[in-house]
Amino acid sequence: EFCLNCVVKSRGLSGNAEVQYRSVNINVNGREVKFPCQLFINGEFVDCENGKVLTSIDPSNEKIICEVQCASKADVNKAVKAAKNAFEKGEWSKISARERGQIMYKLADLMYQHREELAIIESIDSGAVYTLALKTHVGMSIETWRYFAGWCDKIQGSTIPVSHARPNRNLTITKKEPIGVVGLITPWNYPLMMLSWKMAACLAAGNTVVIKPAQVSPLTALKFAELSVKAGFPPGVINVLPGTGSEAGHSLASHLDVRKLGFTGSTEIGQVIMRTCAESNMKKVSLELGGKSPLVIFADCDMDKAVRLGMQSVFFNKGENCIAAGRLFVEEKIHDEFVRRVVSETKKISIGDPLNKSTSHGPQNHLAHLNKLLKFVEMGLEDGAVLEYGGKRLNRPGYFFEPTIFSHVEDSMRIAKEESFGPIMIISKFRNGDIDGVIRRSNITEYGLASGVFTKDINKALKFAEKIDAGTVFINTYNKTDVAAPFGGFKQSGFGKDLGAEALNEYLKTKCITMEY
């Protein structure tokens, strides 16, 4: 059901503006939700130049939710022009850092007021179960905006003692400056959270932004655009362009007026992005890419916790989690018991309608991804791994896939090396007491995003943490990310950090000023 000419009021820096948009209004379980379905450029919701649309599908029932305008190269050019203008001449360039922070706090408050609506939209668009969408997808997004809002007026340079050109004296200071127009390209697994992780740091640093969310899950980004108007961001500071990677994404990565590209997605596309950034205008780039994170479970662990968190390390957000444990190494002594217990617990997982509060496992994000997971299972069987549980699509509408467990996985098997990005547990055994061996095997992968270890022996845990080549190490916990802690990978999982103070550096440049007196 479409409602023409909705109005959103902005009480922002430029007065009380009214912005009109065409909205999608739907009733979900007796609740009205409403969001825009057009591109957001220069503070206005507009149709795309070439009349193309994306079709959003609810993965829990395969029904069409709505059509969304699909950005072309011409739209990207328009958005970048608006962002450049906002950066160089607009209100945004004139206000103080503290005022910038106030607008970001206001946005966070609005997101909090609309948290249930955002969680419903995220749930129907991405298949995330509502409770998780509310707590993590939306909850952590709000925290991210608050965290970076607090940084705005704390970004500062330094004074540096340089040698004097005698008899004169010299003084050197550094300034941290925004880079300019930033392009962001994000994946579909945590649509609003990936937007927030990148955009909050980017705006706190004073840049302006054009984001292209993943084409399969763009709806919360559009709701976010509406809220950004209400919060009072000046026109052009935030531009949201749903579109395809090959056209809108590529146009953004290759644009000569974009000076920084922040990307989260697969390693394969990360390589394309890095090449495009280099060849176009040598824009700064940060890449959060794929992973195959090892989780090592020693016999001296707290077994109940290892079973519970071992399952979460794989099945959280139906496995569509970049730091998901891609491989579990279990010490021989407890291997059989561990497998038995995870299989029995996995059987109890409630799969179903993600909006139902008692559901803990929703559908996969989209059909192509589900099909990829079915192929992954075939690959495991072909290579001789033992399928302990699951592996099939559920016989009901929606892209439901059973949580799956493989054991007896050897290092040479393809499922030991490739990322599934789905709820597939890959269990390998290691010899009793062979710490060095299991660390070596954990490091074989070309990825280096995250890792984990379960043991009560602090020596083993710290040795693992020291030797593992991954950007994140969890000890006796898993998935414990926080807005204040830096997050990002090593090796082919990319470079650059999201979250924490370090993330600001991705969106700043250091200017060095030397004076003589």
Number of residues that bind ligand TAP (CB under 6 A): 29
Closest approach, Cβ 505 to ligand TAP, in A, equals 17
CB count in 10 Å sphere of residue 352: 18
187 binds ligand TAP (CB under 6 A): yes
List the x/- string, 105-144, binding to ligand TAP by CB under 6 A: ----------------------------------------
Residue among 189, 196, 208, 228 that touches ligand TAP (CB under 6 A): 189
Please report where in the chains the tokens 């000046």 appear, as a residue.
234
Where does this chain touch ligand TAP (CB under 6 A) — which range of 59-67, 98-106, 265-273, 351-359? 265-273
Where does this chain touch ligand TAP (CB under 6 A) — which range of 42-50, 141-149, 182-190, 403-411? 182-190
In 265-332 the beta strands, taken as DSSP E runs, fall at 284-288, 293-297, 325-331
Length reported for the chain: 517
Q: Which helix (H) or strand (E) holds 118?
A: helix 115-126
Where does this chain touch ligand TAP (CB under 6 A) — which range of 243-251, 391-399, 457-465, 508-516? 243-251
81, 106, 212, 429: which is the annotated catalytic residue?
212
143, 288, 388, 506: which is the annotated catalytic residue?
288
Please report how many Cα atoms fall inside a 13 Å half-sphere around the Cα of residue 187, on the Cβ side: 20
Q: How far is CA 419 from CA 293, 317, 387, in A?
A: 9, 15, 17
Please give the residues from 301 up to 340 whose contact with ligand TAP meets the rule CB under 6 A: 322
Residues 6+ apart with CB under 8 A from 150: 101
Cα–Cα distance between 368 and 354 in angstroms, integer?
Answer: 19
DSSP state, 246? I
Residues 6+ apart with CB under 8 A from 516: 165, 168, 169, 170
Following CA atoms 366, 48, 27, 224 in sequence, which dihedral angle do they give, to the nearest 10 degrees?
80
Residue among 249, 352, 380, 423 that touches ligand TAP (CB under 6 A): 249
- Catalytic annotation present for 212: yes
Query: Measured in whole angstroms, how far is the alpha carbon of residue 204 from the centre of its chain?
Result: 18
The partner residues of 293 in beta bridges, in order of sequence, read: 325
266 binds ligand TAP (CB under 6 A): yes
250 binds ligand TAP (CB under 6 A): yes
244 binds ligand TAP (CB under 6 A): yes
Which CB, 19 or 140, lies closer to ligand TAP? Answer: 140
CA Rg value for the chain: 24
Where does this chain touch ligand TAP (CB under 6 A) — which range of 180-188, 202-210, 378-386, 397-405? 180-188
Please give the residues from 464 up to 503 whose contact with ligand TAP meets the rule CB under 6 A: 489
> Cβ(260)–Cβ(268) under 8 Å?
no
Residue among 71, 214, 225, 424 that touches ligand TAP (CB under 6 A): 214
331, 402, 419, 506: which is the annotated catalytic residue?
419
- Catalytic annotation present for 331: no
290 binds ligand TAP (CB under 6 A): yes
Where does this chain touch ligand TAP (CB under 6 A) — which range of 78-86, 261-269, 293-301, 348-356? 261-269
- Catalytic annotation present for 247: no
Q: Which residue is nearest to ligand TAP (CB)?
A: 245
Cα–Cα distance between 212 and 185 in angstroms, integer?
Answer: 5
> Cβ(155)–Cβ(187) under 8 Å?
no
At 313, which amino acid appears? Answer: S
CA 123-126-127 angle, to 5 degrees, is 60
Q: How far is CA 198 from CA 98, 483, 499, 505, 512, in A?
A: 20, 11, 8, 12, 26
Closest approach, Cβ 53 to ligand TAP, in A, equals 14
Residue among 25, 55, 246, 350 that touches ligand TAP (CB under 6 A): 246
Where does this chain touch ligand TAP (CB under 6 A) — which range of 132-140, 247-255, 334-342, 429-437? 247-255
The partner residues of 12 in beta bridges, in order of sequence, read: 15
Which CB, 77 or 174, lies closer to ligand TAP? Answer: 77
DSSP state, 248? I
269 binds ligand TAP (CB under 6 A): yes
273 binds ligand TAP (CB under 6 A): yes
78, 223, 322, 460: which is the annotated catalytic residue?
322
List the x/- string, 416-455, binding to ligand TAP by CB under 6 A: ---x-x---------------------------x------
Instruction: Identify the sign of the CA torsion 104, 108, 114, 120.
Output: positive
Closest approach, Cβ 253 to ligand TAP, in A, equals 5
Closest approach, Cβ 369 to ligand TAP, in A, equals 7
185 binds ligand TAP (CB under 6 A): yes
Closest approach, Cβ 121 to ligand TAP, in A, equals 17
Residue among 272, 274, 374, 473 that touches ligand TAP (CB under 6 A): 272
Residue among 41, 129, 193, 289 that touches ligand TAP (CB under 6 A): 289
Residue among 127, 232, 234, 291 that touches ligand TAP (CB under 6 A): 291
Instruction: Identify the sign of the CA torsion 87, 91, 94, 98.
Output: negative
Cα–Cα distance between 116 and 113 in angstroms, integer?
Answer: 8
Structural tokens at position 354: 């993600």
At 319, which amino acid appears? Answer: G
Query: Measured in whole angstroms, how far is the alpha carbon of residue 241 from the centre of its chain?
Result: 17
> Cβ(459)–Cβ(407) under 8 Å?
no
> Cβ(486)–Cβ(497) under 8 Å?
yes
Catalytic residues: 212, 288, 322, 419
User: Given the rule CB under 6 A, which residues bind ligand TAP?
Assistant: 185-189, 212, 214-215, 244-246, 249-250, 253, 264-266, 269, 272-273, 288-291, 322, 419, 421, 449, 489
